[in-house]
Structure 1
Amino acid sequence: MSDTALPQGVSHLKAPARSAASDNAPVAETVADVLDRVKREGDTAVRDFAQRFDKVDLADLEVTPEERDAAVAALDPQTRADTEFAIENVRAFAQAQFATIGGLDDFQPRPGVHLGHRVIPLQRVGCYVPGGRYPLLSAPIMTIVPAKVAGVDEIIACLPPNAHQAMIAGCHLAGADRVFRIGGAQAIAAMAYGTETVPRVDKIVGPGNAYVNEAKRQVFGPVGIDQLAGPSEIYILADSSGDAAMIATDLLAQAEHDVRTRVGLITTDEALGRAVLQEVEAQLGELPTAHTAGPAWRDYGEIAICADENTMIAYSDQIAAEHLQVHTRDPQAMAGKLRNYGSLFIGELASVVYSDKCAGTNHTLPTMAAGRYTGGLWVGAYLKVVTHQWLTPDGVREVAPAAVRQSASEGLEGHRRAAQLRLDRLQTR
């Protein structure tokens, strides 16, 4: 069963057995209760939910500086070096992106009309760091480092109380100002509303499970969010030049994230599709994480055969995959024709795993076809662009008459008077 209707010229060698969209009503109800209680009871509710959901009694919600230092000291030297390598690359890319964002000081569309905008960092952000099935050491790097580069005043990190100690070290090394042992929907509630211990933030970023995602959806408005993230996704576009073993390896690498991961091959070559199908089954037989990757492939795996390159591109843009790899004879040319994706991996040497871990681009990306209208998390997500204007007397003479007429035609007398007043004052001087 597919979430997306097949366009003409596309057929399935393997169709998804299930839809990635699921009934969210039970999750929404549970989350609503968590948010309400944390809003009313603060730290008391947070501790109660930690006991109920995480089976942990929390005396202190915040990780102390001494505990943060101890977590860093406990890191294996190579793990620390690899973590700092990833931080360096993510920081460098975020700095390069930041350098492209500029203020606009004084644009004059008319004489005496001065317009502009400022780029202002957010004051306080909350970074949710998921625990997940594995200690994803790159997770805090992707949300915290761009916030530091953007110049955010204070960065709050929340991670489940049973998260691996290395995750605390990652938050510290990435630059979090404060770290809290709070997970799930209660972490989102604490950051959105504030408690006796956790400060209220202006925006919440970072991926999580269905409860975290639903909590972000419900608190949005009073606080900002980066996006609503569903299960991870990878699709690969390939022609007859594709390497079946490599494609199968990359599909399963992403499938081991979660049993609901969407994985797919879109190809113009049926023989390659059949070879990939065989390779996936063979590799699953000896993959240690097959208990996760196997159900993901069985339920959500897809191999689509397209009549030609244009059909392949159209189907890919319709799916708008979170991660999109291009394995074709001329991957750069193909990349230029694609428009809907979270992040693009051009050529068979560019694997999602490099972006997931340490290459520098962000791995917090849009899923469930959101790539049709948005990109992933980046340094700009921690900035707001706010406009300003100032007028000279000549500027008032330029714009006031049109504003007066427009307000009158709309029946907004107060607006008309505000525009006319300044024009009248100038004329009497």
Structure 2
Amino acid sequence: MSIDQVTDVQEPDVQEPKAAQGDRTLAPNSVQAPTFIKAPKSDAGADSGQVESLVADILSRVREQGDAAVREFSQKFDNANLEVFEVTDSEREQAVANLDPQTRKDTEFAINNVRTFAKAQLGSLSEIDVEILPGVHMGHRNIPLERVGCYVPGGRYPLLSAPIMTIVPAKVAGVGEIIACLPPNAHEAMIAGCHLSGADRIFRIGGAQAIAAMAFGTQSVPRVDKIVGPGNAFVNEAKRQVFGPVGIDQLAGPSEIFVLADHTGDAELIATDLLAQAEHDVRTRVGLITTDEALAKAVLVEVDRQLESLSTAHTAGPAWQDYGEIALVADEAAMIAYSDHVAAEHLQIHTENDKALAAKLSCYGSLFIGEAASVVYSDKCSGTNHTLPTMAAGRYTGGLWVGTYIKTATHQWLTDEGIQQVAPPAARQSASEGLEGHRRAAQIRLDRLGA
């Protein structure tokens, strides 16, 4: 339903922005604050200190006690009493065999699309070797990681796309060994998804204890070099605490979607897309940024209408009430400025000149240009990755991709001519800094050339 089909609409109260919303909601001084047709009631980034202390205890226990601690926490948090954590080959094969035929076809369709796009991305990563001065050669190589741990969330529903997004790009990148961990009570189809995506080993371990097991290693689970994949607040906090000895992809907050729309926006379509994302979690952040007041008010009415018949309204409804926002801005420039400030995980463009607007945006996790490009397609099967930066991290990073699993390491080599180019300034600079050892290391090679 487009906005011109909305009739008998009760005018909603316009809400002014509130300082309590946090810096992700209010624009900085350099950005004109919008008028909120609907303002969020809460800050989706708020977290409890109890999570931090509980996770710290879990990590410490797993580090010290290994499998025994993992087993204890699996029983406590997942009500799973497992003697053996690893999924056997026969169990993997059986899980695939038990997949509904159409589900398997759809899963393989998604795997192929994600693989195809990841291969194209990998092909864009060039290795270089250049001579920047006579005799001074430098370059870099793209080296796949040795072992990666992929956390695969179980969630309220079997998220069949989750293993595809983390495991398939790792396989394309050439990672030596891919470890997958998923909650013990995850749907069997999730095991099938891990298997079809290319996981080398699969473990029935969830939560912070899974992150600890992969970060430190246990009697059953090998230590990995990097941990990727989204999860709940406990998983996220565990990744934050283990970072350093192991790498992580990013710290993921609740899911987000924002839509940029002008007078051409379709209220029914926008509301549908907002609620599709809102059903992920009661803390999902959803929003509309628009230059058209009539559209803003129509979307507000349309969301409420659709919630009446949405089977997941018990999740999407609270998300919309607590974290949903509709921001009215003066013009396209204000829309761009506020959008870049929000830096939404998923950003859809529903405007008259969608591609032109897309070229002016710089802060987002993934961009969906035009009404035909729904976030749902990327969430499931179109090919771009759905593991994306949240909580304004789109200002400084992109999402999970094949490059996440590769380290780009530099190298150099010098001829005698190259030594003559760089040794003198290196020795002089070292001397001025009072680093005699550095000066000698630079000078000795030059002296030997002279000898």
Same fold (TM over 0.5): yes
How much has 1:306 moved relative to structure 2? 0.2
**Code of the aligned partner of 2:398:** G
What is the CA–CA distance in structure 2 between the aligned matches of 1:21 and 1:330, rounded to whole Å?
33
Match of 1:161 in 2: 184
SS in 2 for 1:229: coil
2:74 aligned residue: 50
Cα separation, 1, equivalents of 2:311 and 2:209: 33
Contact 2:26 2:33 in 1 (8 A): no
1:68 aligns with 2:92: yes
Give, in whole Å, the separation in 2 of the partners of 1:112 and 1:16.
60
Instruction: Indicate conservation of the 8 Å contact 1:115/1:390, yes or no.
Output: yes
- Give the letter aligned to residue 184 of structure 1: G
User: Amino acid of the residue matched to residue 239 of structure 1?
Assistant: D
Query: In the TM superposition, what is the alpha-carbon distance from 1:250 to its structure 2 partner?
Result: 0.2
Alignment partner, residue 175 of structure 2: 152
How far off its partner does 1:10 sit? 1.4
Deviation, structure 1 residue 9: 5.3
* Aligned: 1:362 with 2:381: no
- How far residue 20 of structure 1 moved from its aligned partner, in angstroms, is 1.1
Superposition map of 1:221-300 within 5 A: 221-300=244-323
Match of 1:2 in 2: 21
Give the Cα separation in 1 of the matches to 2:297 and 2:315: 23
Helix, strand or coil at the partner of 2:227: strand
| Preserved CA contact (<8 Å) 2:270 2:299 | yes
Structure 1, unaligned runs of 5 or more = none
Q: How far apart are residue 24 of structure 1 and its match? A: 3.0
Moved more, 274-283 or 19-28: 19-28
Say whether residues 1:309 and 2:332 are aligned partners: yes
CA distance in 1, matches of 2:79, 2:47: 27
CA distance in 2, matches of 1:424, 1:325: 63
1:23 Cα deviation (Å)?
Answer: 3.2
Partner Cα distance (1:353, 1:21) in 2: 23
Q: Is residue 418 of structure 2 the alignment partner of residue 395 of structure 1?
A: yes
Shift of 1:2: 2.7
Pairwise CA distance, 1:21: 2.0
Determine whether 1:118 maps to 2:141.
Answer: yes
Q: Is the 8 A contact 1:122 1:152 kept in 2?
A: yes
Identity score, percent: 73
What is the one-letter code of the residue matched to 1:254?
Q
Aligned residues of 1:111 and 1:395 also touching (Cα < 8 A)? yes
Q: CA deviation at 1:133?
A: 1.1
The whole-number CA distance in structure 2 between the counterparts of 1:41 and 1:9 is 52
Structure 2: 5+ residue stretches without partners:
1-19
Give the Cα separation in 2 of the matches to 1:293 and 1:387: 47
Q: Could you tell me the TM-score, scaled by structure 1's length?
A: 0.99
Secondary structure class of the residue paired with 2:21? coil
CA contact (8 A) 2:229 2:249 kept: yes
Root mean square deviation, CA, Å: 0.7
Contact 2:151/2:182 (<8 A) preserved? yes
Deviations 1:19-76 (A, max 9, x none): 1121331000000000000000000000000000001100110000000000000000
- The reply to whether residue 135 of structure 1 matches residue 161 of structure 2 is no
How far is the alpha carbon of 1:341 from its aligned partner?
0.2
SS at structure 2 position matched to 1:135: coil
Q: How does 1:380-391 map to 2 (within 5 A)?
A: 380-391=403-414
Q: Write the mapping of 1:317-332 to structure 2, written as runs, cut at 5 A.
A: 317-332=340-355
Q: Which moved more, 1:109-118 or 1:3-12?
A: 3-12
User: Residue 112 of structure 2 aligns with which residue?
Assistant: 88
Amino acid corresponding to residue 175 of structure 1 in structure 2: G
For the Cα contact (< 8 Å) 2:127–2:142, is it kept in 1? yes
Q: Is the 8 A contact 1:9 1:307 kept in 2?
A: no
2:201 to 178, 192, 216: 178
* Secondary structure of 1:39's aligned partner: helix
SS of match in other structure, 2:80:
coil
Structure 1 residue runs of 4+, over 6 Å off?
A: none
Cα distance between partner residues in 2 of 1:96 and 1:142: 15
SS of 1:376's equivalent in the other structure is coil
User: Which whole-Å CA distance do the structure 1 matches of 2:157 and 2:404 have between them?
Assistant: 26
Q: Whole-Å Cα distance in 2 between the matches of residues 242 and 372 of structure 1?
A: 26
Secondary structure of 1:195's match?
Answer: coil
Task: Tell me the amino acid that sits aligned with residue 172 of structure 1.
Answer: H
Question: In the alignment, is the contact (CA less than 8 A) between 1:10 and 1:304 conserved in 2?
Answer: yes
Number of aligned residue pairs = 427
